[in-house]
Amino acid sequence: MIFETRTVIPEPASIDVESFSPPLPELLLDRRAVEHDLGYHSGTAPEPVIAAINELLPRVASHAQLQCGFRILPPSSVVIGPESVSCGSVSLSMGSVITKQLKSSSSIAIYVSTAGHGMERWANQLMAAGDMMQGFVVDTIASGLVEQASLWLEKKIAASVKPIGWSLTNRYSPGYCDWPVSDQHNLFSLLPAGFCGITLTSSALMVPVKSLSGVIGVGSGVKRGAYQCSICDLKDCYRRREEPEELEEQR
């Protein structure tokens, strides 16, 4: 008698959608981080900028409405091709640059994070009142908050797959590495409507504006590396600037 041998791909104990409200104290939000996001090396920001940051940071908690969440798709529904990833009846046209990074993944986690409407309203109010610098600083803080919430969420995703021996790849988002922004509609179709309070415009822009979305590869044969700027042709991305070592260590 001949028995057929099959490789069984383990699945997470739960592949349900999960959402969170990250506690602000658990995110890296200090003056040095904001200075970096504004484009200054440590200690080089002008005094008015430093004063604005010091004044505004304590007020962030009363305006931020942080939410984030993810969904890990069943491995049986995910097919990673040379140019796209098929998720059941939905195809994500990521392009070969991203699919090459995901090729060893058993599945993908779809994630979103947002700072909410409060930070955007605050920045707009400051600018409308004529304080353009403070408005710009708040806008920059909001962008940093979303990035930090996404990093916080990565730890949650990693914890959810660790029991079955899986790890994570880097995050990849529509609008980068030849993945068209218009594919947001397909990406969001794999999540509940209005997930984490985020909706899409007809042109596939996220509302609230200070939001991030994308995918992370998960599986036993993957790992997360440093930001791989060499695979991306976005030359003016702020992450192309070298981060101070001590700041990177905190992250």
- pLDDT for res 103: 94
Q: What is the pLDDT of residue 11?
A: 61
Query: Is 195 a domain residue?
Result: yes
Whether residue 208 is contained in a domain is answered as yes
For the chain, what is the domain count? 1
Element (H, E) at 155: helix 132-161
Average pLDDT, the chain: 89
Residue 14: both structure tokens together: 């739960």
pLDDT of residue 3: 40
What span, in angstroms and rounded, lies between the C-alpha atoms of 178 and 124?
31
Residue 13 maps to a domain: no
**pLDDT above 60 for 152:** yes
- Alpha-carbon distance 90 to 78, whole Å? 10
What was the pLDDT predicted at 42?
A: 83
Higher-pLDDT residue of 14, 223: 223
- What per-residue string of b and e applies to 183-210 under the rule 16 or more CB within 10 Å gives b? bbebbbebbeeebbebebeeebebebbb
Would you tell me the crossing angle of helices 117-128 and 132-161 to the nearest 10 degrees?
Answer: 170
Pairwise pLDDT comparison (89 vs 4), residue with the higher score: 89
Asked if residue 29 belongs to a domain, the reply is: yes
3-class secondary structure, 108: strand
CATH number at residue 75: 3.40.109.40
CA distance between the termini of the chain: 56
Query: Domain for residue 8, yes or no?
Result: no
- The stretch 215-235 carries a mean pLDDT of 79
- Kindly state whether residue 60 falls inside one of the protein's structural domains: yes
CA distances from 13 to 2, 9, 163 (A): 32, 13, 9
In a domain, 11, yes or no: no
Q: If 0-12 CB within 10 Å is exposed, 13-18 middle and 19+ buried, where does residue 165 land?
A: exposed
pLDDT of residue 100: 94
Boundaries of domain holding 200: 18-245
Residue 137 CB neighbours (<10 A): 22
